[in-house]
Structure 1
């Protein structure tokens, strides 16, 4: 999925930031690790929740084979900022793992990766493993998320691999979760991956590109949380 309105989105969020705070929100680059973030299965059984209960939910829709999702997760993109905001307790991130690219491109990589991530959640290692998989994402056209690859990547996460985890990966233990997560994505209003929402409200097209900008992602989240009337005042 291409975000061709990125420049316009960033310009609009810059205006919003100036209007609300006098200057764009600045974020320290410290503390970007996903380690030690609380994580759990969502009540609906289709999402993986990272962050504190009671904080504002940010929904993130990703297919693990999606190259634009990798762009979002890049160290110089928006995901590290969202992670910092999550660690501060301002937001919690709710991941819905889609797998439609398997049907479009052939193979089972998206499904296998989603299953492995669900297995990692049992060890409270989802967020760390998620980061490792995107950092080493195979080419989209290659069905690269094989069992061997997933297990090798899991070896990079301290404390993740054991006989139970390995068996869950090889046997697709969480196949039902993978299917339910894809259906949840299809029922959402997200038009592609990565998709973003705040408290169930999709990040508007005019600021969606700003989700990839470390400086303006916080403002894009604030903008999304505004009522339509309040948004209109800023344009």
Structure 2
């Protein structure tokens, strides 16, 4: 992290303010989209005309008729969370991320390695809960299709999953593939996968292009929406207790502060 002194960098302050504004706008758009989605569903049922009024309808059509397959290394009542770490660890760190979420990208860049090192040491296991709410907030299908690709990566193993997740989020900070809804492109997702050794196999490529895991993506999205935390991304908790990963300016906390929180102040 940058050091704070008596003459703060105005560019850094501007970046903080822009990030906070984006996060607030996203939360507002998600609330509005959820309201219109409910209204739209009522209109469809009442009209009985056969016309479909639903956000993300194209993706629903793509999922129709596909068998539900669940990636390996998934946990939870409906196996909608991806597990990293020792399954028998005494504690669980829950990490909720959306592939199109800018604050999620910042936290992954600043704390992702520390989170996983502690899991490797057995301090806890990580349950990654993926979300697609940015599609509702900003329009498009990039989150859903990226989660489909992440499901394909999870099926190859937890190490490949976390490395691919990191690569997907890394571009959110400014690379050209994150312009607009570019994560909806299979070519973009496969290009990112090329940065993870051994991930680009014929089976993985086919799953990304044919949206093999899309029915599972729908279950993942539904599980997140039922949890009621759509407006709090990224969301990190240890055994259900919230862990602060962003300060009031939208800047990630230090790795030392994160460790202090999850170890109960013992460092």
Question: Over the residues paired in the alignment, what is the CA RMSD in angstroms?
Answer: 2.3
Moved more, 109-118 or 153-162: 153-162
User: Residue 127 of structure 2 is aligned with which of 72, 94, 97?
Assistant: 94
Distance 1:209 1:154 in 2: 28
User: Residue 216 of structure 2 is aligned with which of 167, 177, 184?
Assistant: 177
Bigger relative contact order, structure 1 or 2, given CA contacts below 8 A and separation 6+? 1
The 5-angstrom pairing of residues 138-149 of structure 1 reads 142-145=180-183, 146-149=185-188
Tell me, yes or no, if the aligned pair for 1:115 and 1:174 is still in contact at 8 Å: yes
Shift of 1:100: 1.0
Shift in alpha-carbon separation, 1:179–1:50, aligned structure 2, 3 A: same
- State the number of aligned residues: 184
> Any stretches of 5+ residues in structure 1 without a counterpart?
4-38, 225-235
Q: Which residue of 2 aligns with 1:64?
A: 99
Q: Which residue of 2 aligns with 1:114?
A: 147
Residue 89 of structure 2 is aligned to residue 51 of structure 1: no
Tell me, yes or no, if the aligned pair for 2:107 and 2:246 is still in contact at 8 Å: no
Shift of 1:150: 0.6
Distance 1:194 1:166 in 2: 28
Residue 196 of structure 2 is aligned to residue 157 of structure 1: yes
Distance 1:212 1:185 in 2: 25
Tell me, yes or no, if the aligned pair for 2:135 and 2:141 is still in contact at 8 Å: yes
Shift in alpha-carbon separation, 1:182–1:212, aligned structure 2, 3 A: farther
Shift in alpha-carbon separation, 1:72–1:208, aligned structure 2, 3 A: closer
Q: Which residue of 1 aligns with 2:262?
A: 221
Q: Which residue of 2 aligns with 1:26?
A: none
Shift of 1:99: 0.3
Tell me, yes or no, if the aligned pair for 1:79 and 1:212 is still in contact at 8 Å: no
Per residue, is there more helix in 1 or in 2? 2
Distance 1:188 1:85 in 2: 26
Shift of 1:221: 2.2
Moved more, 90-99 or 155-164: 155-164
> Any stretches of 5+ residues in structure 2 without a counterpart?
1-18, 22-71
Tell me, yes or no, if the aligned pair for 1:208 and 1:220 is still in contact at 8 Å: no
Tell me, yes or no, if the aligned pair for 1:73 and 1:79 is still in contact at 8 Å: yes
Q: TM-score, normalised by structure 2?
A: 0.63
Q: Which protein shows a greater Rg? A: 2
Q: TM-score, normalised by structure 1?
A: 0.71
User: Residue 234 of structure 2 is aligned with which of 194, 198, 204?
Assistant: 194
Q: Which residue of 2 aligns with 1:85?
A: 118
Shift in alpha-carbon separation, 1:200–1:184, aligned structure 2, 3 A: farther
Residue 74 of structure 2 is aligned to residue 41 of structure 1: yes
